[in-house]
Structure 1
Amino acid sequence: MSAGRLAGRRAIVTGAGSGIGAAVAARLAADGAQVFTADIQGEVDFIADLTEADANARLVAAAIERMGGLDTVVPCAGISAFHPLEGHDDAYFQRVLDVNLVAVFRLVREATPHLKAHGAGRIVTIGSTTSTYGDEGLCAYSASKHAVLGFTKSVAAELGPFGVTATCVQPGAIDTPMTAPAFDQMPEYRTFWEGKAPLRRLGQAGDIADVVAFLCSEDARFVSGHGLWVDGGAMVRH
């Protein structure tokens, strides 16, 4: 790792109030990028519910006003909770799609003209191992993350001719404020994932942030259009 490898980069990171988003924002800044952060709450630059129709347009405008441009987008905002399929609430299913997918689409759409103009733009989405597989009780989450991976691949194909890369990081079981309630309520779930990964531990937000920083850098200039598992090897035992 070389200090300042993201110097000159101007990035938006959503979901930056905690967890993976906060770790990503800190890591990009440590590597020299200007970072404009957003979340629905917390100590961030832009507080908004990004599922609102005009929120992402306002976010992009505010980021460009602050930083003078935009070339990197990392949408990290997401929600998840266990809900059995039987009796699954329509409103919750739609909320998961709105946060995990629709808001990502809108942010990338609003940022696209600026990424194309830069000539070496970066889009790094946050999927999940459930972007490839599924898991019981996570039908809404899995559906949204499958869609994020497919969206990212399509964006990579469309924007590649303009020098823009698009990749999807697929975390495994990561110990964050979002996952903590499930691990606390079901200790056996924590034990299962710790044992499933050959590295014998849960991931930390920093494990994901380090990979995102690489994908935003010039080192990843020829990496685009696919998902990258960051799961401690858990999925080799799926």
Structure 2
Amino acid sequence: MRPETAPFPRGSDALAELSAQAHGLNARLRHHAAADVLQAAVETIPKLALVSSFGAESVALLHVAAMVKRDLPVIFIDTEMLFAETLVYQQELTERLGLRNLQIIRAKDSAERDPNGTLHQRDTDACCALRKTVPLNAALQVYGGWITGRKRFQSGTRAQLPFFEVETPRDAAPRIKVNPLAHWAASDVAQYIAENRLPRHPLVARGYPSLGCAPCTSPVKPGEDPRAGRWRQSEKNECGIHFVDGKMARTGA
């Protein structure tokens, strides 16, 4: 996709304007359901996209989005190191939910910068940047906001996660980030999936409650934190796609 002039605030007043908008939306929707939050986001934020990993819990948010706006752009980052099951699941969910605007993005220079696919063994941060963060940020340049599946229960850094927040990337205009499932507990996700008879990612039943790239994701034992299998035996637990104060977040999910 060729970059265009994004239809959202720029310049010195952009951050203040978006912050005021996010604050107003949070105040108005603080007791509302996820579908209401997403509907309000679609109606008020120009050029909005949903970013999905098609991972362990992704089907819940994708189902809500499909009910609100079936042609909402859905961005899927194919890092070219995902589990084969994830790629098949992505195709099946896209058809099952009738998603009409799926956009699959990949790194343009992975073959040159990581020809043997071993960068993750030497530098996991560089691998995530190459295959996920940089391609996603490029894709988001034309959007005024994006929707995530983040939830408060996932980590201490998200304990106060709002429905709407302002993100300030280093090399892009500020934009609104929408978290429709922020208030959901793990049990809410499981109940929603069960009640709507939605298909689970096949690896969930094999001990993968959190999924990323195959080389950096391992099964989780009973009693372990759901994200214990991500970058196991490493302090890293974030791929870097979320920004806090202009810096890529290094904690949380």
Q: Output the TM-score relative to the length of structure 2.
A: 0.34
Higher helix share: 1
| Structure with the higher fraction of residues in strand conformation | 1
